[in-house]
Amino acid sequence: MTDKAKRGRKSPGVKTAIKTLKLFADKRATLFHGQLDWRMVALQELIREKRQEAGEKGLPRDYLSFRAEANQAALHALQKAPPGERYLLLDRIDTLWRDIKRDINPEFERAVVRGDANWLWRMADAIEGKRKPSDAVRRGFDAKVSTLLFQAAILNAKGHRVVGRDIYEVLHKMDSPTDKKPTRVEVEGWFFENRERCIQEIRDLGKLIGLPLPSEQGKHPPTKRARIAPTLNLCSAIKRLQEALRT
């Protein structure tokens, strides 16, 4: 095989990295923006606002179905309009309800197959409004770590060895001890019992979104290490890693 042909071939690691590039955006969107329970939280907030606007009269039991039927009738009436005007802008409450109805059956089925009883509890908490403001902080931590995990997956495919401790080092953190928890740390606004607990959470998140990190235990062959740029800008991260793939 000529040198030119060899240069044109992609190594298995690079092929894996390219596949990760294509899949990551969908994985991250599903995990942090498309979860059914979080859409339910947003829907319940809008319903509470509508309930307050309605006052003592309250909302009818079929309020959401009534809105959906009204939108469908309005869309049907638009069929007589010119082609460029045959569209209907839905309110946020309507799009949330449409998407929840579409996704709830398959998500419920997956929960049953996995034996995930926590799925039902999460949905119940979302409907009852039991989610705490701190949940949003944790989602911010998860979002930043997921971006770093993505970068780690590409760098590892290129021969670097990025592990959970490397990601921990580039996160914003500070000691936050208490009398009962003298080793507690605050990382990206979220509190952990200690440094090792946070690193384990990073590893667990990597497994959850399909981007597992290399093991940090045992002996490993020497490899070049790479610092991960701590960025939440996914476009910048992809551009940086695409450059790494070309090297």
CA–CA distances in Å: residue 40 to residues 65, 98, 125, 127, 237: 16, 11, 10, 7, 30
Q: Give the separation between CA 226 and CA 20, rounded to whole angstroms.
A: 18
The pLDDT score that the predictor gives to residue 11 is: 45
**Which tens digit of pLDDT belongs to each residue from 12-41?**
444 554 454 555 544 554 554 446 777 787
Q: Quick one: pLDDT at residue 6? A: 46
pTM for the complete prediction? Answer: 0.49
pLDDT for 230 equals 46
Q: What is the pLDDT of residues 166-224, one digit of tens each?
A: 899 888 899 989 888 899 999 988 888 999 999 999 998 888 777 888 887 766 556 55
Token pair of 194 as six digits: 């200690």
Domains of the chain, residue spans: 3-33+133-245, 36-128
Each residue's pLDDT tens digit, 128-147: 877 655 555 566 788 788 87
pLDDT for 8 equals 46
Mean residue pLDDT of the chain comes to 75
Q: Of the candidates 229, 219, 208, 221, which has an alpha carbon nearest to the alpha carbon of residue 154?
A: 229
